[in-house]
Amino acid sequence: MMFTVGQLRQIELGIQDGVEVSIYAKPEFNWGQMREIRLGLQRGLDVTIYAKPEFDWEQMEQIWWGLVGGLDVTIYANPEFYWEQMYEIRLGLSKGLDGSIYANPEFYWRPV
């Protein structure tokens, strides 16, 4: 099992902070994914919803922010969503909107 310098740095930071690095110290996670998982663990978040290789680090970040904000992230914690779609859904949820109306991976996120 070989890790890159960036991955090793995230493992090192996790050990220094006393988090359970075995959750993310896996070669299937790149350093960005490892960072998002580590940050969630540092905050005491339940990272199991996004600590999955199918999410890229930007998707993980949107789920992370939703968890920090106390939102029900299950509506957009889906790897079929681009991170930008997750961002828009998260913003709507934080404003009290019913995200189920527009939480559809087929909806294009860019303004036309």
pLDDT in tens, 73-93: 999 999 999 999 999 999 999
Mean pLDDT, the chain, as a whole number? 93
Question: What integer is the mean pLDDT of 50-64?
Answer: 98
Residue 31: closest CA among 60, 63, 68: 60
Handedness of CA 13, 23, 103, 90 (dihedral sign): negative
* Residue with more model confidence, 2 or 59: 59
pLDDT band, very low/low/confident/very high, at 111 (cuts 50, 70, 90): low
> CA-CA distance, 78 to 69, in Å (whole number)?
18
pLDDT over 80 (residue 1): no
Q: What letter does residue 93 receive in the DSSP assignment?
A: H
